[in-house]
Structure 1
């Protein structure tokens, strides 16, 4: 089991989205490797105090910003690995910053735990005034976030390996150290393309 803990308050509250980001395309229920990795996660409701959640303008997803007296309900997830965090950071992109916060567990009122969450840092002017609704997202927007949605392109581009290999590494490595490959300055992608062209020429 991974050692990372996170608080999600937007699209990542949906298991389908969380699993798609962390494990790649394809249904978890139809892939034993993905099902195993997903089983290592624990998810429960939690509340982030003194923050507000607003919809990002012209987008399906929200941003959270500090705001005294307001609360945000989301999910507290434990068991995330280094690889999961890499994917999540990539998915969230430059508009967000991952920071440590304290959240209150809904099922254990008064108990606060530490978790990472993604605070919107692109500027409050890019947020709508009204609260973002998870129920509305599931009802009206979830179909846009299907398995082949472009929303996951950055994550897919940044990661490349076989999930079955991850399970072997996960079982043998107490840190849950997943094998990930980041493309630094586009060099990895460029080299792969050059190698592919060379092989085509050889054929």
Structure 2
């Protein structure tokens, strides 16, 4: 059964394989499980996504005038949120934020210029609480997908191993 909770994810969890490994324990669950969730591009204003020093994953911190693109996820249960809390660990604080859904207008292009802000939604997200451990550079999701995702999405590879490998 689908849950009523929502989240805004902006890092490794934007990849469905990582997301499903965390919340379902399987990077490729059956379609009936996948269909319990919806994934919509969204933007969070007033924050910036940075690389966490010596890690594959990012952290967001409040930063006026900046914004973070990510994914608004619906269908989460309390058990899913518990798993996300555990995955994010003590480096992050779960906070409720307001995001704007991104809607496609016209033809899609490589830069996402055809996306415009739409409806505002409330969601939980994870804010990095150790700003001295971040690098002042934007974390690159595409670089993560090309270079590091294989470590995070393999069924036989644990998240603890992925974190150890990243460090």
TM-score by length of 1: 0.69
Quick one: which of 139, 150, 163 aligns to 2:158?
Answer: 150
Aligned to 2:125: 117
Counterparts of 1:24-43 in structure 2, within 5 Å, are: 24-25=25-26, 27-28=28-29, 32=30, 35-43=31-39
Counterparts of 1:9-88 in structure 2, within 5 Å, are: 9-25=10-26, 27-28=28-29, 32=30, 35-88=31-84
Q: Is the 8 Å Cα contact of residues 101 and 114 (structure 1) preserved in structure 2?
A: yes
Query: Rg: which structure is higher?
Result: 1
SS of match in other structure, 1:106: strand
Cα RMSD for the two superposed structures: 1.4
The alpha carbon displacement at 1:152 in A equals 5.6
Aligned to 2:137: 130
Q: Is the 8 Å Cα contact of residues 21 and 152 (structure 1) preserved in structure 2?
A: no
Q: What per-residue deviation string (whole Å, max 9, x for no partner) do you get for residues 29-87 of structure 1? A: xxx4xx32221101010000010000110100000000000010000000011111111
Quick one: which of 137, 140, 161 aligns to 2:147?
Answer: 140
TM-score by length of 2: 0.83
SS of match in other structure, 1:111: strand
Query: Unmatched 5+ residue regions in structure 2?
Result: 104-115, 162-167
Q: Is the 8 Å Cα contact of residues 54 and 131 (structure 1) preserved in structure 2?
A: yes
Please state which structure has a larger fraction of its residues in helix. Answer: 1
The alpha carbon displacement at 1:5 in A equals 0.4
The alpha carbon displacement at 1:93 in A equals 0.4
The alpha carbon displacement at 1:147 in A equals 1.9
Quick one: which of 87, 93, 108 aligns to 1:91?
Answer: 87
Distance 1:43 1:137 in 2: 19
Q: Is the 8 Å Cα contact of residues 25 and 148 (structure 1) preserved in structure 2?
A: no
Query: Unmatched 5+ residue regions in structure 1?
Result: 154-203
